[in-house]
Homo-oligomer: A and B are copies of this chain.
């Protein structure tokens, strides 16, 4: 991969099929970015409608390729069309333009202020690396695609090899629906193969990339994005172990509820969720909680995993974790090759001694239970964890004085803190945050789920003294699209007392 740093070679690009895709995307970027919000919204809704019409065929293909089961896949497709409609709504509202208008002000404290109008416009062509574990919701027509299209960016999806047929069927639907809704050609494309993905990531016309997958793969791609002649934003969601802390009182008062909640969350979808709670901290006096969890996991059915490579990775990491000094196997399949649920336990000293090896993500239904003595002892241990998508507490309100420091440290290390709930339900809403400190994501300032995900694909542009006829529509006084426009009042800096200055020079 040493040639990864070379600038693109124009003659090579001419023979590279990805080049045509990116050129087409770039050619349509301006039109799509300037389209009326209602037109983009209609196009996204058309994609949702057309996916719904094809639901039976899509579910059949998805189940054949992913083994996730029709119940789960139907729910996921519903989530996917909901996401498309949520981002259609986002596009239609125009709030994401974040229009700010400063009228000219001759008395502005630092010197006469010109008229300034600022909005956020589309970044340009976006490359989406599809994930395997959500063949709908984080794949071809998933949240990254929906939010980038809503922002006004053309999208090129690099298909995940785990579900090639579904990727092609979905892409055909997306293309047909977009074309039917009048979207310009080139606004959406599917590419396949690792080399095509790398070529697209290095293409000079690309303006951003989004990724959901492993830490290793995501970091590799993030560094390619940073090392390009023109670095571009890279939004990688890389996963986490999603620690859950059970307090003594909760373990005592809700033993069975917590055991069954944990076992269900851990084994949901064969544990193949970024938010899978792989790490469970329980008090040393745990009131039989651990044995109840173990019993439930022993009885849990073994679900097939997404593919052989993932199943093999699961077994390998499980083996590594179980080999750590102080780790005990509480639940382990007789046949080592089965992707059955596994449960390990160690005490907090062994966990600390093992360092980063103990907090490595194990993609699959493996739980590592860590027993602690006092909540206060646990706080520095949690502070040293790598960044997390989620962190949860199973506690009791009466303990809240002890829990302040605990929830604070969990918020410092994660993007979402849960109380008496389990992390595997990622609701698609306005206040959802799916992100977190590295390695949960490469860009902790953003989210990849929820309506704020659109912000990743926008950049601000200001217009200074530009006549109405030359302004982009959202910035015009007549505001024909009726987008929110925020006008700052003069004298907003009310604490400011103009200081004597010898200079009339604007900075």
Q: Given that A117-B431, A499-B78 are contacting pairs, would A466 and B418 also be in contact in the complex, using a CB cutoff of 8 Å?
A: yes
B452 and A417 contact, CB distance less than 8 A: no
Give A405-457 interface residues, CB cut-off 8 Å to B.
407-408, 411-412, 414-421, 424-433, 435, 437-439, 442-447, 450, 452, 455-456
Binds B, one of A81-89, A179-187, A344-352, A366-374: A81-89
A52 CB within 8 Å of chain B: yes
B412 and A30 contact, CB distance less than 8 A: yes
Q: Give Cα A463 to B134, complex, Å.
A: 24
A10 CB within 8 Å of chain B: no
Question: Which of B116, B400, B428 has a CB less than 8 Å from the CB of A469?
Answer: B400
Q: Given that A438-B230, A461-B416 are contacting pairs, would A101 and B466 also be in contact in the complex, using a CB cutoff of 8 Å?
A: no
A507 CB within 8 Å of chain B: yes
Q: What residues of chain B lie closer than 8 Å to A456, measured between beta carbons?
A: 445
Q: Mark A76-109, 1 if CB is under 8 A from B, else 0.
A: 1011011001101100000000001110000011
Q: Given that A418-B466, A507-B75 are contacting pairs, would A452 and B460 also be in contact in the complex, using a CB cutoff of 8 Å?
A: yes
Question: Which of B108, B219, B425 has a CB less than 8 Å from the CB of A506?
Answer: B425
Shortest Cβ distance from A387 into B: residue: B230
Q: Given that A75-B501, A75-B505 are contacting pairs, would A431 and B462 also be in contact in the complex, using a CB cutoff of 8 Å?
A: yes
Q: Give Cα A417 to B109, complex, Å.
A: 23
Binds B, one of A16-24, A286-294, A324-332, A486-494: A486-494
Shortest Cβ distance from A223 into B: residue: B226
A6 CB within 8 Å of chain B: no
CB distance from A140 to the nearest CB of B (A): 16
A12 CB within 8 Å of chain B: no
Give A110-142 interface residues, CB cut-off 8 Å to B.
110-111, 113-114, 116-118, 121, 123, 134, 137
A116 and B460 contact, CB distance less than 8 A: no
A419 and B466 contact, CB distance less than 8 A: yes
Question: Which of B426, B450, B499 has a CB less than 8 Å from the CB of A52?
Answer: B499
A64 CB within 8 Å of chain B: no
Centre residue among A81, A404, A435, A506 by max chain B CB count within 10 A: A506
A461 and B75 contact, CB distance less than 8 A: no
CB distance from A475 to the nearest CB of B (A): 10
Q: Given that A427-B108, A431-B101, A493-B82 are contacting pairs, would A222 and B233 also be in contact in the complex, using a CB cutoff of 8 Å?
A: no
A231 CB within 8 Å of chain B: yes
B496 and A82 contact, CB distance less than 8 A: yes
B432 and A459 contact, CB distance less than 8 A: no
A492 and B89 contact, CB distance less than 8 A: yes
Protomer copies? 2
Q: What residues of chain B lie closer than 8 Å to A432, measured between beta carbons?
A: 102, 116, 118, 462
A316 CB within 8 Å of chain B: no
Q: Mark A332-352, 1 if CB is under 8 A from B, else 0.
A: 000000000000000000000
Q: Give Cα A469 to B402, complex, Å.
A: 11
Q: Give Cα A71 to B500, complex, Å.
A: 11
CB distance from A104 to the nearest CB of B (A): 10
Q: Given that A421-B114, A505-B72, A507-B137 are contacting pairs, would A494 and B412 also be in contact in the complex, using a CB cutoff of 8 Å?
A: no
Q: Given that A52-B499, A78-B499, A502-B75 are contacting pairs, would A461 and B431 also be in contact in the complex, using a CB cutoff of 8 Å?
A: no
Q: Give Cα A113 to B505, complex, Å.
A: 55
CB distance from A129 to the nearest CB of B (A): 17
Q: What residues of chain B lie closer than 8 Å to A34, measured between beta carbons?
A: 408
A482 CB within 8 Å of chain B: no
Centre residue among A439, A494, A503 by max chain B CB count within 10 A: A503
Known: A110-B427, A219-B231, A426-B506. 5 other contacts (CB 8 A): A108-B427, A117-B431, A121-B411, A232-B438, A431-B488
A-B contact pairs, 30 of them (CB 8 A): A30-B408, A55-B499, A70-B502, A74-B503, A75-B502, A75-B506, A75-B507, A76-B503, A76-B507, A78-B499, A82-B109, A82-B110, A82-B493, A85-B493, A89-B492, A108-B429, A114-B421, A114-B425, A123-B445, A233-B443, A400-B469, A404-B470, A407-B470, A415-B461, A417-B461, A417-B466, A419-B470, A428-B507, A437-B459, A445-B458
